[in-house]
């Protein structure tokens, strides 16, 4: 926290609560930093933490929520939160960018003086723009690989153009490549790939969706799709999850709800990556549930498939029925069955 000026110190001496608390927190922070300096093993860490380049690197790596919390705290002597779920902010606190203090039943978050000084220089530099670019690229890359599995970098750049103000240029591509460490996605050659997916494994998905429109929701929906394990929950899948939970309870499973949720999540994830019908079969044996292929087929109609460019079979079948879509005759059927279109829904249409 910044040194409190003489006027504020005078107010603190009169017992004015806000400034008195500011003085207390300032003193606590200084005492903590002084102790840190005296610890032989921590001296290098303290020096590292007061380097502008290192602070810039830490702030760049923070998740957007942590970064917003830090920026809010850095603009005030401290911020007071009645409810702060600290594990959600382990990065910003663990990196010592924020110091939490418990006063009564409230938590006060303080940016250390040295960090605040470095932050003032950073926020007046090109850093905020680069941080925004960093976070946008990361969020969109995670959403893209969840929706499509793989796509060309040029197509990713087109996504950005249509949904953001980010320009896809050499700077953006270089930053994306630096972000692609394989945790959520990777970049190989001119391909953006889902984690663990190789260019060879991606080829069938990209070939299957050739000629199909790519599903591209609005910005807010894209960000939700890129958030962890989020997906659109629909009635048929939720109903099966509830039935699985009942079955697990009847079998004496103590974690029936968690196991049922894991089943539904895994089923969606497996179906999303399927090119036919073979991949989901072992799932039922794993969870001890009876397979139901007809039910799986109905659920699959609502799943956003990699092989359909992020569309659901139901969406494409509706477009086809309305005459707005002409699938390739020898291409995979838009229902997600893995059969050729001419031998599946194309044959049904020909029959009348």
**One domain for residues 14 and 97:** yes
Residue 323 region by backbone torsions, left for phi larger than 0, else alpha for psi between -120 and 50, else beta: left
Residue 116 domain-assigned (yes or no): yes
Rg (C-alpha) for the chain, rounded Å, is 27
203 shares a domain with 189: yes
Shared domain for 203 and 132, answered yes or no, is: yes
Tell me, yes or no, whether 316 lies in a domain. yes
In a domain, 1, yes or no: no
**Looking at the structure, do residues 187 and 273 belong to the same domain, yes or no?**
no
Q: Are 138 and 115 members of one domain?
A: no
Asked if 161 and 202 touch (Cβ cutoff 8 Å), the reply is no
Please tell me whether residue 330 adopts helix, strand or coil conformation: coil
Q: Which residue(s) pair with 80 in the sheet?
A: 108
Q: What is the pLDDT of residue 48?
A: 64
Running DSSP on this structure, what letter comes out for residue 332? B
Alpha-helix residue ranges (DSSP H) falling in the chain: 6-13, 17-38, 40-49, 52-61, 64-74, 90-94, 113-123, 127-148, 153-163, 170-179, 199-208, 219-225, 235-250, 256-273, 281-287, 293-300, 313-321, 345-350
Same domain, 15 and 118: yes
pLDDT number for residue 46: 56
78 and 39 inside one domain: yes
Question: Is 67 within a domain?
Answer: yes
Kindly give the parts of the chain with pLDDT less than 70. 1-50, 81-96, 102-105, 277, 348-352
Asked if 93 and 10 sit in the same domain, the reply is yes
Same domain, 244 and 299: yes
| Final residue in a domain of this structure, among 67, 99, 123 | 123
Q: What's the domain range around 136?
A: 127-225
Residue ending a domain, choose from 225, 244, 264:
225
Name the E strands within 190-308.
191-194
Which contacts (CB < 8 Å, 24+ apart) does range 154-159 have?
A: 154/190, 155/214, 156/192, 159/216
Cα gap 235→264, rounded to integer Å: 12
pLDDT of residue 66: 83
What is the rounded distance in angstroms from the CA atom of residue 258 to the CA atom of residue 35? Answer: 45
Domain end (from 201, 225, 249) = 225
Q: Are residues 29 and 118 in the same domain?
A: yes
Residue 237 lies in a domain: yes
The domain total for the chain is 4
- Whether residues 100 and 169 share a domain: the answer is no
**Separation of alpha carbons 275 and 297, rounded Å:** 13
CB atoms inside a 10 Å sphere around CB 278: 9
Work out whether strand 106-110 and strand 185-188 pair parallel, antiparallel, or are unpaired.
unpaired
CA–CA distance, 230 with 160 (Å, rounded to integer): 21
**Residue 107's pLDDT is what?**
73
**Residue 158 belongs to a domain with what CATH number?**
1.10.10
Both 290 and 333 in one domain: the answer is: no
């Amino acid at each position: 926290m910044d040194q409190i000026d003489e006027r504020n110190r005078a107010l603190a001496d009169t017992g004015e609560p806000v400034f008195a608390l500011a003085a207390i927190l300032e003193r606590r922070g200084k005492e903590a930093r002084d102790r840190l300096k005296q610890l032989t093993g921590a001296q290098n860490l303290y020096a590292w933490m007061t380097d502008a380049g290192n602070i810039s690197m830490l702030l760049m790596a923070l998740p957007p929520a942590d970064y917003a919390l830090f920026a809010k705290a850095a603009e005030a002597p401290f911020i007071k939160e009645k409810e702060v779920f600290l594990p959600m902010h382990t990065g910003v606190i663990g990196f010592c960018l924020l110091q939490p203090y418990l006063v009564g039943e409230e938590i006060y978050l303080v940016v250390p003086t040295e960090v605040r000084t470095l932050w003032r220089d950073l926020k007046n530099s090109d850093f905020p723009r680069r941080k925004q670019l960093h976070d946008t690229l990361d969020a969109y890359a995670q959403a893209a690989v969840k929706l499509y599995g793989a796509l060309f970098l040029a197509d990713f750049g087109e996504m950005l153009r249509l949904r953001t103000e980010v320009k896809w240029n050499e700077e953006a591509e270089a930053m994306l490549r630096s972000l692609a460490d394989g945790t959520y996605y990777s970049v190989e050659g001119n391909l953006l790939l889902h984690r663990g997916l190789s260019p060879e494994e991606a080829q069938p998905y990209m070939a299957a969706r050739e000629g199909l429109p790519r599903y591209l929701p609005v910005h807010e929906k894209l960000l939700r799709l890129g958030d962890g394990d989020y997906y659109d929950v629909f009635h048929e899948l939720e109903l099966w999850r509830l039935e699985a939970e009942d079955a697990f309870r009847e079998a004496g499973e103590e974690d029936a709800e968690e196991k049922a949720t894991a089943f539904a999540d895994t089923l969606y994830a497996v179906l999303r990556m399927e090119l036919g019908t073979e991949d989901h079969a072992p799932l039922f044996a794993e969870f001890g549930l009876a397979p139901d292929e007809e039910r799986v087929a109905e659920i699959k109609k609502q799943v956003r498939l990699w092989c359909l460019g992020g569309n659901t079979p139901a969406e494409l079948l509706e477009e086809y029925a309305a005459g707005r879509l002409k699938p390739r005759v020898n291409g995979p059927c838009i229902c997600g069955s893995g059969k050729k279109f001419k031998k599946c829904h194309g044959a049904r249409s020909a029959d009348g």
